[in-house]
Amino acid sequence: MIKVRTEDAVGKVLAYDTTYVGPDNATVLLKRGHVISQEDVERLKNSGVYYVWVEGEEEPGYVYEWDITPYVASKIIGKNLEFRYSGQGLTRVVSTSSGVLRVDAEAVTKFNENGQVLVITMPNNRPLGKGEIAAVIEVIPLKMRKEELESLPYKEMLKVDEFRYKKVGAVITGSEVYEGRKKDAYLPVILSKCQKYGWELVYHEFVPDDEDRIAKAITNAYSSGAEAVIVTGGMSVDATDKTVPAIRKLGAEVVAYGVPMKPTTMTAIAYLEGKPLFAVSAGGIYYSEWNSIDLLFTRMMTGEKLTKRDIASIGVGGIQEIYLKKSHHH
């Protein structure tokens, strides 16, 4: 690889990916292997590119950007992930199945101290659909010494835990819906979450705000094949609201009633004979795009047994972007 003045590069083979600013300020990519034309020269210089790297003698002992990030990816990804080099020193890591991304934050931080090749991830415990981006790996310089690249602190840093449970039951509470005073808006939200994460809604029932009826509907859902149940509404401290008493009545282990996140703070996390039992307030309708179903129920669906400490720890960073966008409180 040789550095030459852009005007001297006509007819030579570009040795890396580079870009110039084309008409209407769009970025145009010239890929490695492209033969440089006179027209390219003008466009590159108009974008402030006065020198380019062209094919020539490879320097022994060095690894170049197109080999660096795929190599790093291969050393740090775990199950249900794959990677693709996408040019300009950047490799994308994507999920091969839906589930929850687990990130070894300590390992990523330690690795990134090298300052030259960087691992940039989605947040830990983030649910991913199949084919969604989990991380990108980008290298800053064009080349690195082979020994230096090979001596970085590699270990498995990323994996996706698949959903162990796939069959969901829904119990929609609210006498106003049950009596037909108000059209239900929650079932479509649950159906869209099932579609997003690859679950199947195997049972749903509408019930009034009655402790026994709610408890019975939850039991019906499990006996109809649901591996996990979501109960919606009836979560406030109003005298009418009966969801949590119904859950307790069934003898479920309630890990949390109230979770430190905005929106859908009024969420209950419980396990009935080890099976996920989840309850969420009406806030999940207004904030349908992203709520505690996405942040917490997805984790329960992997078979993870959430603890009081797990729930407490989401308070740092617990304000979700959607809350800032859609709430009237800021």
User: Which tokens go with 230?
Assistant: 């979501």
- Compute the Cα dihedral for 82, 86, 90, 94 and give only its sign: negative
Name the CATH architecture for the domain at 2-54.
Alpha-Beta Complex (3.90)
**Residue 98 CB contacts under 8 Å (≥ 6 apart), including other chains:** 127, 128, 129, 130, 162, 163, 197, 198
The yes-or-no answer to whether 2-54 and 167-326 have a common fold is no
d(CA 50, CA 134): 36
- Mean confidence (pLDDT) of the chain: 94
pLDDT band (50, 70, 90) for residue 329: low
Q: Is the separation of the CB atoms in 234 and 282 below 8 Å?
A: no
**Span 167-326: which CATH code?**
3.40.980.10
Does position 240 have pLDDT exceeding 80, yes or no?
no
Predicted confidence (pLDDT) per residue in 116-151, tens digit: 999 999 999 999 999 999 999 999 999 999 999 999
Distance CA 85, CA 325 (A): 34
Contact of 169 with 307, CB cutoff 8 Å = no
pLDDT for residue 330 is more than 60? no
CB 207 within 8 A of CB 173: yes
Q: Is there a contact between 277 and 228 (Cβ–Cβ < 8 Å)?
A: yes
Residue 215 token pair:
């408890």
Q: What pLDDT digit, counting tens, does each position of 17-60 carry? A: 888 888 778 888 888 989 999 989 988 999 899 999 888 877 78
| Span between the terminal Cα atoms of the chain, in Å | 54
3-state SS track over 19-77: EEECHHHCEEEECCCCECCHHHHHHHHHCCCCEEEECCCCCCCEEEHHHHHHHHHHHHE
Distance of alpha carbon 21 from its chain centroid, rounded? Answer: 32
Task: Name the fold adopted by 62-161.
Answer: Aldehyde Oxidoreductase; domain 3 (3.90.1170)
CA 179 to chain centroid: 38
Q: What is the helix (H) or strand (E) element at residue 323, kind and residue range?
A: helix 321-326
Q: pLDDT confidence of 301, banded at 50, 70, 90? A: very high
What ranges do the domains of the chain cover? 2-54, 62-161, 167-326
Is 70 exceeded by the pLDDT of residue 220? Answer: yes
Per the listing, tokens 């019906």 go with 220
- Each residue of 58-98: pLDDT tens digit? 778 999 999 999 999 999 999 999 999 999 999 999 999 99
